[in-house]
Amino acid sequence: MARYAHIVGWGMAVPQRVVTNHELAQFVDTSDEWIVTRTGIRERRVAGPQESTATLSIAAAEEALAVAGINPRDVDLILVATVTPEHLFPATACLVQDALGASRAGAFDLLAGCSGFIYALHMAAAAIRAGTHDVALVIGAETLSRIVNWRDRNTCVLFGDGAGAVVLKGSETPGGVLASMIRADGSGGELLILPAGGSRMPISEAVVRDGCHFVRMNGREVFRFATRVMEKATREVVAQAGLRLEDVDLIIPHQANIRIIEAAAKGLGLPMERFFVNIDRYGNTSSASIPIALCEAAQQGRLKSGETAVMVAFGAGLTWAAAVVRWGMPLARPRPPWLERLGRITLYLPAQLHSRLMRLWRRFDAWLSRFLRQEGE
> Looking at the annotation, which residues are catalytic?
114, 254, 284
Beta-strand ranges (E) seen in the chain are: 4-13, 18-20, 43-45, 77-81, 106-110, 135-143, 161-171, 176-184, 192-193, 216-217, 250-253, 308-315, 319-326
What distance in Å separates the CA atoms of residue 142 and residue 286, rounded to the nearest whole number? Answer: 7
Q: CB–CB of 107/139 below 8 Å?
A: no
Could you tell me which residues come within 8 angstroms of residue 105 by beta carbon, excluding any fewer than 6 positions away?
Answer: 72, 75, 76, 77, 78, 97, 137
What distance in Å separates the CA atoms of residue 132 and residue 130, rounded to the nearest whole number? Answer: 6
Could you tell me which residues come within 8 angstroms of residue 119 by beta carbon, excluding any fewer than 6 positions away?
Answer: 81, 110, 112, 182, 319, 321
Amino acid at 198: G
Answer positive or negative: Cα dihedral of 180, 184, 190, 191: negative
Of 112, 109, 253, 81, the residue nearest 185 (C-alpha): 112
What distance in Å separates the CA atoms of residue 251 and residue 239, rounded to the nearest whole number? Answer: 15
